[in-house]
Structure 1
Amino acid sequence: MTLSIDIHDETNEVTSEDKKVLMALLQEAARSESFVDDAEVSITFVDIETIQQINKQYRGKDKPTDVISFALEELGEGEVELDLIQSQRVLGDIIISVPIAEQQAKEYGHSFLRELGFLTVHGFLHLLGYDHMTEEDEKVMFKKQADILLGYGLTR
């Protein structure tokens, strides 16, 4: 399994060390999910205005949020599946608001890196098809998140 991770920091606030930890954390998340395919995922760090614009455009919610995931393997209404030959799966994009992550880290009393790790794993699990629309689904997804973060050693 090779998980290629492309990171873009539009805020210039995430350190290279933080990025290395997040890349290793995603590798751990993929292993914990028994992910065996070669795949690609991208993470983009943005400001509040950008994530609010994305949230409004794609989710119809005119407010900022902490993380948004776009799973490229999920078909939306009216979309047609293409049978493309690819050397690896393209799972999708994770977009994280750095200012909101900083704010939430303070609110929850843990490090900025821990919050970035949580949001990264949360977004990654969405790319793999997990959701939290029902109470039961939320329990499953949030337990997986906690187990991955604990297994990696990124605790509160």
Structure 2
Amino acid sequence: MSIEVANESGVEVDEQDMIAAAQYALARMDVHPAAELSITLVDMTTMADLHLRWMDLPGPTDVMSFPMDEIVPGGRPDATAPGPSVLGDIVLCPEFAAGQAKESGNSLSAEIAMLTVHGVLHLLGYDHAVPAEEKEMFSLQNELLQAFRTEQEEVARKEWLAARDARLLGRAGFLDD
């Protein structure tokens, strides 16, 4: 999976966590591993301009998605297997996200991961314009984020245990030549 990130926002974010969230969501949604995705982080002025130009809504927003190839997760049973594709672009505004994170008690990294997954789902055709769609999309978003965080915690726990074991084995002389 090719995920390109351009941070033009002036706000430092954990790009690796953002990429990991996107990779996780795309893998769970059975998107071809050779798919391409672009994530751009912009400032409030740029996001407000994009929001007005593409959505005809004033002021900045947190995330916008611009799909390229039409992709439907799971596809039709009689369709050929999907190949690599260009998913499109996700545009995030970390400054806007920071305000939302503060209001909800989340870290900026958690908010950016949530917005990244939200953007991925939009690229895959999910929307929240009507209540039934909103329920489906946000339910899936929450499920993906919870599973992503659980997996990250498990990886961190295993890394911590491996480092602890290496320290203990080194002190006991097992690692001496």
TM-score of the superposition, structure 2-length normalised? 0.74
Matched residue type, 1:40 = E
SS at match of 1:52: helix
**1:66 corresponding residue in structure 2:** 62
Alignment of 1:1-156 (within 5 A): 3-15=1-13, 18-36=14-32, 38-74=34-70, 88-153=84-149
Matched residue type, 2:38 = S
- Per the TM alignment, residue 37 of structure 1 is displaced from its structure 2 partner at its CA by 5.1
For the pair shown, the structure with the greater C-alpha radius of gyration is: 2
SS at match of 1:153: helix
Gaps of 5+ in 2: 71-82, 151-177
SS at match of 2:59: coil
Query: Over aligned residues, Cα RMSD in angstroms?
Result: 1.5
TM-score of the superposition, structure 1-length normalised? 0.83
- Per the TM alignment, residue 14 of structure 1 is displaced from its structure 2 partner at its CA by 2.6
Gaps of 5+ in 1: 75-86
Q: Which has the higher strand share?
A: 1
Residues 27 and 33, structure 2, Cα contact 8 Å, conserved in 1? no
- Per the TM alignment, residue 65 of structure 1 is displaced from its structure 2 partner at its CA by 0.7
- Per the TM alignment, residue 11 of structure 1 is displaced from its structure 2 partner at its CA by 2.0
Matched residue type, 2:132 = E
Matched residue type, 2:7 = D
Matched residue type, 1:71 = P
Q: Number of matched residues?
A: 138
Deviation string 1:103-131 (CA, Å, 9 cap, x unpaired) is: 00000001000000011000010000000
Residues 37 and 89, structure 1, Cα contact 8 Å, conserved in 2? no
In the aligned structure 2, how far is the partner of 1:100 from the partner of 1:112?
10
